[in-house]
Amino acid sequence: MLASKPTIELIGAPQDLGQIHRGVDMGPSAVRVAGVIPRLESLGFTVIDRGNIECAPMTTVDEGDPSARYLAPVVEASAALAEVTEAAVRAGHFPLVIGGDHSIAVGTMGGVAAVEPRHGLLWIDAHADYNTPETSPSGNIHGMPVAAILGEGPDSLVQVGGVAPKALEDHTVIIGLHSVDRLEADRLRASAITFFTMHDVDMRGIPSILEESFAVLTADGVDHIHLSFDADAIDPRHAPGTGTPVVGGFTYRESHLMMELLAEADIITSAEFTEVNPILDDQNQTAELIVELIGSLAGQRVVKPGT
């Protein structure tokens, strides 16, 4: 759990091949510039910055099969990320991965699951990312990582890190859905995944949804939970710098409340924040918000209880 791991390894994954909008490869730099390291150090953590993994530029690789665009270089980058993430976990550190597009989650989970295969997965996103090449209308792999993590999709992607599946389907929770493809929705309803749309958030509120989510994630003694956060889960009024913005996402305070409740529950053992695109941003506003959310996840409060 983050609170019990005083050393955080910061890993940049400047992957932009999983989607079509250039600029998301600069996300790790934008988050660093926004002050993620001093923010974490001010909260008492030691931060080891591992730099960025190597990702092939889009201009140097072939798209390949349009149903799973850039599959080979995405797999290559994911394997490199899995290796660095696994080393962080084995060292007893907390891996914090900054993307890059959301296809990087396959690599992050490949690394953590190589050490602890019985993982729960908390996915906070406007999209389910549960497509396969057969159902995806775009062929963009950043819409497929949940499926790959749970063992479905191209074999080379599913096998990243040498373990498949990388998380337990009945311990997987998606929160924040408000843009889901038709065939993907059919797959989601037929799965064992627990999911909450923004309608559910409106009707029930964040605390109720997270209480149920914690019960699902930690049932049956599962005590390794990965958090995967997509910037497009936040309403674009607050986070304009992302490639697939959808109106109606989380507010500033709802986003912080989720991170604060996760910090209080202390169940997260690894995390990634993805899809920050500074080219589409307004004065690094989105990266700065992501740094604030990371701070809340790490325990930052206006006034801590008892102080």
- Pair 214, 267: CB distance under 8 Å: yes
Q: Which of 129, 184, 235, 292 is catalytic?
A: 129
Q: Which of 275, 281, 288, 292 is catalytic?
A: 275
Q: Which of 9, 16, 101, 127 is catalytic?
A: 127
Tell me how far apart the alpha carbons of residues 293 and 9 are, in angstroms, rounded to a whole number.
Answer: 17
DSSP state of 86: H
186 catalytically annotated:
no
102 catalytically annotated:
yes
21 catalytically annotated:
no
220 catalytically annotated:
no
Q: Which of 86, 125, 235, 292 is catalytic?
A: 125
Q: Which of 86, 230, 260, 288 is catalytic?
A: 230
281 catalytically annotated:
no
Q: Which of 16, 86, 101, 102 is catalytic?
A: 102
256 catalytically annotated:
no
Hey, which residues does 255 pair with through a beta bridge? none
Tell me how far apart the alpha carbons of residues 4 and 87 are, in angstroms, rounded to a whole number.
Answer: 18
Tell me how far apart the alpha carbons of residues 251 and 56 are, in angstroms, rounded to a whole number.
Answer: 34
Tell me how far apart the alpha carbons of residues 171 and 192 are, in angstroms, rounded to a whole number.
Answer: 8
275 catalytically annotated:
yes
Q: Which of 232, 235, 254, 272 is catalytic?
A: 232
What ranges make up the beta strands (E) of 147-284?
Answer: 172-177, 194-197, 224-230, 268-274
Hey, which residues does 123 pair with through a beta bridge? 174, 228
Closest by CA position to 26, among listed 249, 278, 299: 278
3-state DSSP helix/strand/coil % of the chain, to nearest 5:
45, 15, 35
Closest by CA position to 139, among listed 181, 98, 95, 200: 181
Q: Which of 119, 142, 178, 256 is catalytic?
A: 142
170 catalytically annotated:
no
Catalytic positions are: 102, 125, 127, 129, 142, 230, 232, 275
